[in-house]
Amino acid sequence: MTEFTHKQPELTDTRGRSLRDLRISVTDRCNFRCRYCMPREVFGDDYAFLPHEALLTFEEITRLAKVFASLGVHKLRLTGGEPLLRRDLETLLQMLREIPEIRDIAMTTNGSLLTEQRAKSLRTAGLTRLSVSLDALDDNIFMAMNDVHFPASRVLTAITAAQTAGLTPVKINMVVKRGVNETQLLPMAEYFRHSGQVLRFIEYMDVGNSNGWRMDDVLSAAEILSTVQKQWPLKPLPAQTPGEVATRYSYVDGGGEIGIIASVTRPFCGGCTRARLTSEGHLYTCLFASQGLDLRAHLRRGDTEEQLYELIAQTWGLRTDGYSEIRLAHTPGFQNKIEMSHMGG
């Protein structure tokens, strides 16, 4: 591979947004069937997941990551599907950490395959931060949500393993769905207060076409905040970085901090600096996009780094995305959007 150092002045889209973060989905498969993400009626035994040869290889991912880095990306996040289902992820981490512009490599996982030893090897290989998804402490509720009978206690063990391995603070992602797990807001908050970990409540989103989303199912950030606040007063914290998706609060009594990701009721499109690469190498500039750019085809037909650079720069330069803002302003049409498990959350 030729070295590639091309740099152009700050790349921005049509709304002046820079390209800063890249989410890389390393697999479209998952061992959970969360009702809000991969419901088993759609992702059943006969579902056609991608064959291995369709996935980008680690070399292809790294090649693209280098081009993205030269366009301004400093942060990478590995996701899926369930990223820990992809074999030898440590090898990919070791390759990505060698890219000079990359300062941060995070991962989002359901925690089901994360032992202490695995957490240590991921960290040694270059992982800097970890988010673990957990929607409830109550097993009846959690199992109904993950739909594979996976107990909450095993995710809690994985979170402790990550903490022991030094992947701190671990962020805990809790998707909140009205009438499903809202009773878990306070137990979850209580469990993670004073733990050094950061619980983040996520408004249930209308990603993909398969989760049967209705606005009525969304427990808003305002409702989440008022429920927690009544029990343990909170104060807002300033954003740490521009374009931060979570609004941060700290417990007044020193119990640590929480975050709320209000993509439905308080969209943050104006500061959205994120691109997404699917496991088969399609680039999406919005989580809710229906059209992606097939970078794998360009890689496999022998495009040079310069050509890939121009292609991605042009795509970002033309970007107009702001789906969540539009959804808030209008009655949305939920057709033909790509599934979140496929694009990478």
For the four alpha carbons of 62, 86, 57 and 132, in that order, the dihedral sign comes to negative
Using CA atoms, how far apart are residues 166 and 151, in angstroms rounded to an integer?
Answer: 24
Using CA atoms, how far apart are residues 333 and 305, in angstroms rounded to an integer?
Answer: 37
| DSSP conformation letters of 173-200 | EEEEBTTTTGGGHHHHHHHHTTSS-EEE
- The answer to whether 201 contacts ligand SF4 (rule: CB under 6 A) is no
Q: Can you tell me which of 19, 38, 99, 219 binds ligand SF4, judged by CB under 6 A?
A: 38
**Among the candidate windows 106-114, 153-161, 275-283, 304-312, which touches ligand SAM by CB under 6 A?**
106-114
* Residue matched to tokens 């794998």: 296
106 φψ region: left (φ > 0), alpha (ψ -120 to 50), beta (else)? beta
CB of 211 to ligand SAM, least distance (A): 5
- The answer to whether 181 contacts ligand SAM (rule: CB under 6 A) is no
Q: Residue 324 touches which of ligand SAM, ligand SF4, none (CB < 5 to 8 A by kind)?
A: ligand SF4
Q: Closest Cα to residue 340, out of 29, 106, 55, 80?
A: 80
- The answer to whether 174 contacts ligand SF4 (rule: CB under 6 A) is no
Using CA atoms, how far apart are residues 6 and 305, in angstroms rounded to an integer?
Answer: 9
CB of 287 to ligand SF4, least distance (A): 4
Q: Can you tell me which of 58, 150, 204, 249 binds ligand SAM, judged by CB under 6 A?
A: 204
CB-wise, 145 or 165, nearer to ligand SF4? Answer: 145
CB of 204 to ligand SAM, least distance (A): 5
Q: Are 232 and 292 in contact (CB under 8 A)?
A: no
Residue 28 DSSP SS3? coil
- The answer to whether 246 contacts ligand SF4 (rule: CB under 6 A) is no
Q: 90-109: which residues touch ligand SF4 (CB under 6 A)?
A: none
Binding mask 58-87 for ligand SAM (x = CB under 6 A): ---------------------xx-x-----
CB-wise, 69 or 134, nearer to ligand SAM? Answer: 134
Using CA atoms, how far apart are residues 337 and 324, in angstroms rounded to an integer?
Answer: 13
User: Where does this chain bind ligand SF4 (CB under 6 A)?
Assistant: 30, 32-34, 37-38, 80-82, 110, 133, 263, 267-269, 272, 274, 286-288, 321-324, 341
